[in-house]
Amino acid sequence: MTAWQLNSFGLENLKPAQITQAEHKSDEVLIKFEAASVNPRDYQIIEGLFTQNVNFPLTPLSDGAGVVVAAGDDVTGLEIGDTVTPLFFPNWKSGEALFDERKISSGLESEGVLRKSGVYNQNAVTKIPDYLTACEAACLPCAGLTAWTSLVPVGNIEPGNTVLVQGTGGVAIAALQLSKALGARVIIISSSDEKLARAKNMGADLCINYLRQPNWGSEAFEFTGGGVDAVIEIGGAGTMEQSLNAIRHGGHIAVIGYMAGIQLDVTVFPLIIKCANLHGIATGNRDNYEQMLTFMADHKVKPTISRLYSYDEAPIALGDIAKGGHFGKLVIDFAR
Ligand SMILES: NC(=O)c1ccc[n+]([C@@H]2O[C@H](COP(=O)([O-])OP(=O)(O)OC[C@H]3O[C@@H](n4cnc5c(N)ncnc54)[C@H](OP(=O)(O)O)[C@@H]3O)[C@@H](O)[C@H]2O)c1
């Protein structure tokens, strides 16, 4: 079996490897992977920027999709031929993660998906609706679910609400698409007018270039006449002050990323005065993932893929996520 493996930190150390595939047990399935998508975390893990606590050799990438090609006798609810995605947190079924639910994550504590096949417990994978391709499904376990968790279980977004989405990457464009399908208005900010034009075509109601309009939070507040209901907070330290300007009384800020810095230095007054809610988001659990898949199937939401790469081009895809020119997701199509 072939895989991309990392034996020490650094993208230049990501190399093809031959691995012997383990036999599946009675409650396990064998998946033949067809696609994987790239997240900033994958690049950070490879470069040693996410954690130094990595067991080498590591097969990286958390998010992939493939077909069940063999199933043990005790497997129920999955059949040979089903397209599935491994969960980002295989042990986090529902509710809050109070104990060991998040100790294992795909592509870090457990082997990732940048390999031709893998054996998974039946509870660690989820069947994907038929209308999605494997490349589209591979966009969902991290970026898609993070957007859904922020909007629905945490943000309680309803038709007519307004969501402020930061950037045009994987999480942001998933949030734009899901928000529109939920019947919400979307304000989106980006450094690129070209990306904003694409977001407008996808239904964004107000587009702001955050480089030209550094006070985008106040503009969003005025546009809504009282503040946005939720913020998809991708920037982190560098955007929080404007997010607090944008949010309405009692609104929800889903703290997801740190693209604009990790160390917060903002006044807490707007948070107190507006009785706003700051929520840390850690992707999400299996129940929420399944809710999202049902919702997506009902509304025929298809993830936005910026560029497809072949399996051999995996290192290029990982380099490109760090460069940041993409709109939506970067996906490795194993069939190319
Ligand atoms: N907490 C979680 O569970 C979780 C899950 C997934 C991702 N994340 C984190 O969330 C962040 C985004 O992930 P992703 O997969 O969407 O990454 P991505 O596809 O690489 O997108 C990154 C986006 O960040 C935007 N950005 C950069 N600086 C910004 C700023 N100052 N203001 C507003 N937007 C800015 C860029 O927007 P433009 O190019 O349009 O300017 C770009 O679209 C990363 O930090 C990632 O590590 C966290």
Both tokens of residue 55? 């067991």
Which residue has the CA at smallest separation from atom 31 of ligand 1? 260
Give the predicted TM-score (pTM) of the model: 0.98
| Residues 198 and 162 grouped into a single domain | yes
Give the number of the atom of ligand 1 that is nearest the alpha carbon of residue 44. 47
- From the number of C-beta atoms within 10 Å of its C-beta (0-12, 13-18, 19+), residue 140 rates as buried
Residues 83, 163 share a domain: no
Strands 28-37 and 117-121: antiparallel
- Supply the pLDDT for residue 311: 98
Q: State the CB neighbour count (10 A cutoff) for residue 200.
A: 14
pLDDT for position 116: 97
**13 shares its domain with 132:** yes
Does the residue 232 lie in any domain?
yes
Report CA(30)–ligand 1 centroid distance (Å). Answer: 33
306 contact partners, CB below 8 Å, separation of at least 6: 326, 327, 328, 329, 330
The verdict on 161 and 129 lying in the same domain is no
Nearest CA to ligand 1 atom 4: 256
**Do 216 and 248 reside in the same domain of the chain?**
yes
> Do the domain assignments include residue 58?
yes
Residues 17 and 120 in one domain: yes
Nearest partner of 15 among 58, 79, 61, judged by Cα = 58
Pocket test for ligand 1, best of 233, 259, 288 (most atoms within 8 A of CB): 259
- Verify whether ligand 1 is closer than 6 Å to residue 5 (CB atom): no
Ligand 1 center from residue 256 Cα (angstroms): 8
148 and 269 in a single domain? The answer is yes
Q: What is the tally of structural domains in the chain?
A: 2
Tokens of 319: 């380099």
Q: Which atom of ligand 1 approaches the CA of 171 most closely?
A: 16
CA 234 to centroid of ligand 1, rounded, Å = 5
Which range of residues forms the domain containing residue 93?
2-139+303-333
CA–centroid distance, 258 to ligand 1, in Å, is 7
Structure-block tokens of residue 101: 């639910």
Residue 295 lies in a domain: no
* pLDDT score of 21: 86
Could you tell me if residue 294 is inside a domain?
Answer: no
**For ligand 1, is residue 170 a contact (CB within 6 Å)?**
yes
Residue from 47, 234, 239 whose mutation best tests the ligand 1 pocket (most atoms within 8 A of CB): 234
Residue 1 is predicted with a pLDDT of 57
What is the residue-level pLDDT of the chain in tens, covering all 336 positions? 599 999 999 999 999 999 988 899 999 999 999 999 999 999 999 999 999 999 999 999 999 999 999 999 999 999 999 999 999 999 999 999 998 999 999 999 999 999 999 999 999 999 999 999 999 999 999 999 999 999 999 999 999 999 999 999 999 999 999 999 999 999 999 999 999 999 999 999 999 999 999 999 999 999 999 999 999 999 999 999 999 999 999 999 999 999 999 999 999 999 999 999 999 999 999 999 999 999 999 999 999 999 999 999 999 999 999 999 999 999 999 999
Nearest Cα neighbor of 30 from 69, 86, 88, 73 is 69
- pLDDT reported for residue 229: 98
Amino acid at 43: Y
Question: Could you tell me the maximum CA-CA distance found in the chain, to the nearest angstrom?
Answer: 60
- Residue 62 to residue 281: CA distance in whole angstroms: 17
> Are 199 and 171 spatial neighbours (Cβ–Cβ below 8 Å)?
no
* Residue 107 Cβ contacting ligand 1 at under 6 Å: no
Task: Please give the Cα distance from 263 to 217 (Å, whole number).
Answer: 19
| Judgement on whether residues 89 and 171 belong to the same structural domain of the protein | no
CATH number assigned to the domain comprising residue 98? 3.90.180.10
User: What's the pLDDT at 99?
Assistant: 87
For residue 215, the domain's CATH number is: 3.40.50.720
